[in-house]
Structure 1
Amino acid sequence: MAGMATHLITGAGSGIGAAVARRLDERGDELVLLARDAGRAKELAARFPGARTLVGDLADPDRLSWAFSHQSLPDRVDSLLHIAGIVDLGPIGDLRPKTWHQQLNLNLIAPAEITRLLLPQLRICKGHVVFVNSGAGLAAHAEWGAYAASKHGLKALADSLRQEEKPNGIRVTSVYPGRTASPMQAKVHSQEGKAYDPARWIDPESVATTILMALDLPRDAEVTDLMVRPGR
């Protein structure tokens, strides 16, 4: 994907998303960064001066098509990078529908809806859709039920999309990072009642490296599922 590719990124404000956005920006690619509101869009535009912003709240996927219809979408999208996510732990016996809805909306339904809305542009470019999943997308543990369900669902979304869009030349990659040093990880540790030491976990830059590797792979190959684990 040499030179001036256009990437639409969710979650560019922190963690893995910020690392990916910075790397793509530094190499001269075009960025379109999704922000949940105008204030957040302003922050992202200040951090990435050449980037375009698009406003849409992933927490409310039912309103994304309305939001996008009032803004100009890019004519081309070479890659759609779903990196935003939320986590809220708790035993099934305590989780209310609200907690389920929040995680399913943001982690699963919003990526499905954004993908639907941008498929015409992705088909034109024979683009690439990357879903940043989680180890929880492959195995569910105690107190991770709602989050893991959203991420298991995200794997299903990616696998179905890959088969459906293969004739249109679209590549689809799921990345399953282990615990990554990010604000989300700090929240998980506080919910688990554990001390947080970022040095123990994967640097977001390392996950960004694997995402760029998948994007830059020659057209004769596709990375479908990529597991990234802490090396220490």
Structure 2
Amino acid sequence: MCNHYASSGEWRTKMGVFREAGILPDFDWNAPRVNVQSDDVYPTSVGEILTPSDDGRLVAASASWLFMPWKPGLTWAEWCKTRRGCNNARGEEADTKWPFGPAAKRGRCLIPGEAFFEWNDDPPKAKDGSGGKTEYRFAYPDGRAFFFAGLCNRVEPPDSGPMLTYTMITKAAGGDTASIGHPRQPVILTADDAAAWLDPERPIKSFTEQLDPAGTFALKAVKGPKAVAA
């Protein structure tokens, strides 16, 4: 699973092949950055996603990274207390499993990013404070940005008004992510995959079975005992 990723306002200029090959011709690459909380995005943070508009164009929107199925009448605070929000969705079953099935057909989105972070499974801390888990940063060596596969859902809590929420699709770890002993990772979309991901007829599961682009990422220990030693 993923609980932290980086997405600065510079991702529009770091998309490389996405821009040059016209993979997303309907997106305005010069559009200003939408309202977000930070370049570091955590669950419940407001991040930036790309989603098809009513007229078919691809637009950037701000959204809360905590996908919420919705029951009319519940306030946002009440939903948060139920802990039913999901920042990750298992791609192997998201096509049919509640609450993602409807969004799999009408809520596909692209999540721009420049890095994601995962914790390894080191032994727990000793009494003297040594040991413990290490957090690693995964990013392309040349600094280019990419898209995560995502699903979004619009909700209308009476205490805050309409809002967009989203979740990140995950798969079994491969490449560098598997090398640190972490079992899951986000689905990273290649340039060819980005347009295909937005097609609701493409099974989500098929994106979990492809070769792993994250195997070409560079990783760096950023928190924990191994980061101190590095």
TM-score over 0.5 for the pair = no
More helix by share: 1
TM-score by length of 2: 0.28
TM-score by length of 1: 0.28
More strand by share: 2
Larger radius of gyration: 2
